[in-house]
Amino acid sequence: MTGRYYHDDDTEIAKRYQAGRTTREIAAEFGVSAKAVASALQRQGVPRRKGGPRGWQGSVTFEERRAEVIRLYTSGGSVKGIAEKLRCRTPFVTGVLRDAGIPRRPFGHANSAFTDDEAQQVAAEYRAGATCADLGRKYGVSHVTIRAWLRRLDVPVRGPKTPRIWTPERTAEAVARYQRGESASQIAEDMGVSEAGVAYTLNREGISRRRPALRREQAHGWRGGRIKHGKYIAVWPDEEDLKLIRPMANGYVLEHRLIMARHLGRPLMPGETVHHKNNNETDNNDIGNLQLRQGSHGQGAIVICLDCGSHNIGYSEL
């Protein structure tokens, strides 16, 4: 029966509830809320069940639930199955069994994944070198189940079995080849490993990586090592320049900052900036057109006396 709910249906609701239906099921059948069903039961004077399986009428005491757990388990039921049937949590079932002094069944009961003989066979195959995944596929269970059974049998479980690719000999070979000038990608291709693995091994051995500049001339976007970067000019630094300036993410450095660093013979401090005197950032990066400043600087060209080079200039009367 579905549709709109009327108080005339209270009797039918009470009858269905007493037959074992839940308030949620009845609410779905009548198209109303579970609260409306509860109100109908209250009007009919029907006591609400306190939980437990369908068919249990009236209030179910703790002792009744406890007795039912013991009865179901001694009849061969599993802990999980009892919890689902009684609509309770598995810790409640195990706690009842523990308090009652009922020992848990051994591995070979009907609901176990393996019999005692099968469990011992699994343990023997694992000790012989088989993995949990292999045994899971063989016996039609998950590797998690295999690991659980091994722990029950007090069999030490091995960690993830990974092949040791980087033996001392292969590590020494990779280091020697890289120091001779071969690239990490070439070494990885010849040794049948990933380039990331080669890079990790070199870093672990304390080998400084070369910058990927060996193939820059063959790169599609190579423009001779000099490009436009925003309103500035950027250049590709050599190894000596890297001691004076840190490259950007693309490997280039700003030319005017590099020239100033070369002129000073030291790296620029974080707060130091370089100003173009003629106010044209792409026109002339000669040291004569550059001025070291402290902090940010605005736009504007520097004006000096062309005769004496003095900055003390101003307007005068004609």
Q: Which residues pair with 273 in a beta bridge?
A: 293
Residue the block writes with tokens 């295999």: 146
Q: Rounded to the nearest 5°, which phi and psi values hold at 238? A: -95, -175
Find the DSSP H helices in 53-160: 62-74, 79-86, 90-99, 116-127, 132-139, 143-152
Looking at residue 300, its pLDDT comes to 58
Report d(CA 256, CA 95) in Å as an integer. Answer: 77
Strands 253-254 and 272-276: what pairing? unpaired
Looking at residue 21, its pLDDT comes to 77
Tell me the pLDDT tens digit for each residue of 79-107.
777 888 887 777 888 888 888 888 776 55
Report d(CA 277, CA 124) in Å as an integer. Answer: 83
Give yes or no for a contact between 258 and 235, defined as CB atoms under 8 angstroms apart.
yes
Looking at residue 176, its pLDDT comes to 92
Structure tokens at 270: 């974080």
Report d(CA 248, CA 79) in Å as an integer. Answer: 63
Structure tokens at 17: 């509830």
Burial 144-156 (b: 16+ CB within 10 A, else e): ebbbebbeeeebe
- What letter does residue 243 receive in the DSSP assignment? G
Quote the longest CA-to-CA distance of the chain: 120
Burial 265-275 (b: 16+ CB within 10 A, else e): eeebeeeebbb
Looking at residue 194, its pLDDT comes to 83
| Secondary structure class of 105 (helix, strand, coil) | coil
Looking at residue 120, its pLDDT comes to 87
The full set of domain ranges for the chain reads 7-43, 106-159, 168-208, 223-294
Give yes or no for a contact between 255 and 233, defined as CB atoms under 8 angstroms apart.
yes
pTM for this one? 0.33
Where the chain has pLDDT below 50, the residues are 1-3, 52-58, 108-111, 162, 214
Looking at residue 72, its pLDDT comes to 85
